Structure 1
Amino acid sequence: MKTYFGALAALAVVASGAPALADTLFNSGAAIPGSGGPDLAEFNAADQFTLVKASTITGGTFDFSDSSGTLPANLTYTFYANGGVAPHGPPGTALATGALIIDDSFYIGDPGQTPHYKAIFTLASAFVADAATQYFFGIHSPSFADDVSWVESNFRPAVGFYEASKFDDPSEPTHWRSEDQTLAFSLTGAALPEPASWSLMIIGFSSLGAMLRRSRRRPATG
């Protein structure tokens, strides 16, 4: 019985240390009242992020401006490697891309002429990001007819986001142009277990298995 309870205790420690499935892993900050940003109909935009722990990214939010609050259909996302010397970028190799599934959007304010909204999204496929590694997260619209802008959360940070005109040649060295603003977005998911947690889990399951095997071999008493 001691082995049994020891195994359960080990598993409980692992479970209690596991983060929630929708933890906020990164947040660039709230949208600045009155701010604009890159028009998704004209530009591909991407902003940088770095996570403290290796994590699986499953969704997030981004703030946008639009007169109707309606997002275009078939938005996509791309995770890029850093293509230069961190933290200056620009975005490099595309590591993963897929559909940006909009779960909900709601009004967050009407600063100036164009209302601001927040969209909550889920990634079509989870993305695993290493700790202390710079990536870029981009949102793209396949339409040239929408009028949605990804709004800013900081006007002049040390390093801003990058944008690339859809009408430019991607092979040109100046395809990505740096800006002096940060885009408003967050990323959610779960941190990957630390190696010590995996070891504890293995020990717990091994101990539990050994206890069950011994209980099967024990002769019945009557």
Structure 2
Amino acid sequence: MRFNSVLPIAAAAVSIAMTTAVKPASAFTVYGGAGTVRPCSAVVSGADSCAGVYDGNDSLTDLNSKISTVSGLSAAWGTGWNQVARVNSPAAPPTGSTVSGFNVASSGGSGTWNISGISIPSGKVLSSFIIALKAANDYAYYHFGSGTPLSGTWSTANFLNNGNRQPDLSHATLYAQFENAPNAVPEPFTIVGSGVALGVGAMMRKKQQKKEKSIG
């Protein structure tokens, strides 16, 4: 999906949306449903819940299907998801690989992630996001709500290859939800300007009323 050009305020909106609306700490929630091969866990730092582990490959269609069919997932994660970027076979730290502002660095079965460089559609703010990890034949979705950081670490400890060993990361996919930005607050000079205009208008009306009285 292509996003509109981003003004500096949009980048600030990401930070505000994801770092100031801090939610109370809560237990990590695991979702499964049909096709689960083993339970996922909190192997991606900052995530509040996960869905999986599943056999196959993640996609936007699959994510939407899981949300609509897995018990409790629709209420927890909501709808309106967009695929932002996918990083295939990410490079090693500290540089890693970046696609559309989504950076992933891999040391094989662990590494780092960072979404601070993604573009936000005009008039929107980032409300929540999901990072999907794919390794060997396994994949899982890890959800982040408001109040979570824009960077962290990940591990493929939830996954197993054909030799029942922890595999290297194949790819990571970023999905995001956007919501309308709050109405902009007028700048002080705009408020002052409005006050001056109202004051001038009131003075002109008083002069006109005096003139009409003198004529009458």
The TM-score bracket by the shorter chain reads under 0.3
Radius of gyration: which is bigger? 2
Structure of higher RCO (CA pairs closer than 8 Å, 6+ residues apart): 1
Normalising by structure 1, what TM-score? 0.27
Normalising by structure 2, what TM-score? 0.28
Report which of the two has the higher share of helix.
2
